[in-house]
Amino acid sequence: MGTMTTPRSRTAPIVPDPVLTGLTSGRLTTGAELDGIQVSGDLRELRAPDVRAIESELVDAQADEAMLRGGSWAESRWLRVSATSIDLAASVFRDVVWDGCRFGAVTLSAGTVTRVLLRGCKVDYVNLRQATITDLTIESCTIGELDLGEARLSRVRVITSEVGSLMLSGSRSEQVDVSGAGLPRLEGLDGLRGITLSQEQAHDLAPALVRHLGGQVAE
């Protein structure tokens, strides 16, 4: 069990690969301590803050309007979880994979994200405001709006994904590569330091950057 990593370069995020075997069925309840547990089924409107889960799995679950804030998930997987909205504010995710999940809105504000992979997910809105994010990989995902306002980011990479709107206002970034994203809209030009863009993205952003610096773009 644990995390196997193969960084493609010194600055690439560490990608988690939790290996889970021998899981037993369990439930999410307030303050639950889960170890080697698999949870699935109907979690709609569930109120279960402060869950502590290690080497566990949330799979094929419907979690509309669920409130799981303040929880901690380590060396775990979320597979094909869906929700109109889910509240994970102030939660901790470490060595976790989200695969094939579908969310309307995810609130993970003020959370801690360390060595996390989002793969094949579709999310309308992700709120990571004021979060601390280290080693995050977003691969083959569609995200309508990714809000990183006032977040602290280190080693983040977006690969073959579509991000409709990226908000960076007040964020601080180091080794963040969004060049692999379709990115029609970017807000918060003050947060561009430490961000790698593709040439096409930089070209599209140039007029807004000129205006941000006090210049004008002739028609």
Percent of the chain clearing pLDDT 70 (strictly above): 93
What is the structure's pLDDT at 8?
45
Residue 211 DSSP one-character state: H
Say how far apart CA 111 and CA 128 lie, in whole Å.
Answer: 7
- What rounded mean pLDDT belongs to the chain? 92
Q: What one-letter code names the amino acid at 172? A: R
The tokens describing 59, both together, are 């799979």
In the predicted structure, residue 58 carries a pLDDT above the cut 70: yes
Of the candidates 47, 136, 121, 21, the one whose C-alpha atom is nearest the C-alpha of residue 80 is: 121
In a domain? residue 9: no
The tokens describing 119, both together, are 């793969």
Backbone φ and ψ of 52, nearest 5°: -120, 115
In the predicted structure, residue 94 carries a pLDDT above the cut 90: yes
Q: How confident is the model at residue 208 (pLDDT cuts 50, 70, 90)?
A: confident
The range of the structural domain enclosing residue 139 comes to 24-155
In a domain? residue 71: yes
In a domain? residue 109: yes
In a domain? residue 59: yes
Of the candidates 101, 87, 167, the one whose C-alpha atom is nearest the C-alpha of residue 129 is: 167
Task: Kindly report, residue by residue over 122-142, the tens digit of the pLDDT.
Answer: 999 999 999 999 999 999 999
In a domain? residue 203: no
Enclosing H/E stretch for 112: strand 112-119
Sequence-distant contacts of 85-90: CB under 8 A, at least 24 apart:
none
Q: How confident is the model at residue 4 (pLDDT cuts 50, 70, 90)?
A: very low
The tokens describing 42, both together, are 């109907």
CATH number of the structural domain spanning residue 107: 2.160.20
Which residues have a Cβ under 8 Å from the Cβ of 73 and sit 6 or more positions away?
51, 53, 54, 56, 91, 92, 93, 94, 96
What is the structure's pLDDT at 7?
43
> Half-sphere exposure (CA, 13 Å, Cβ side) for 31?
0
In a domain? residue 1: no
What is the structure's pLDDT at 1?
46
Say how far apart CA 47 and CA 124 lie, in whole Å.
Answer: 22
Quote the number of domains for the chain: 1
pTM for the complete prediction?
0.89
In a domain? residue 194: no
In the predicted structure, residue 51 carries a pLDDT above the cut 80: yes
Q: How confident is the model at residue 210 (pLDDT cuts 50, 70, 90)?
A: low
What does the pLDDT average to over 53-65?
Answer: 98
Report the sign of the C-alpha dihedral through residues 145, 41, 60, 115, in that order: positive
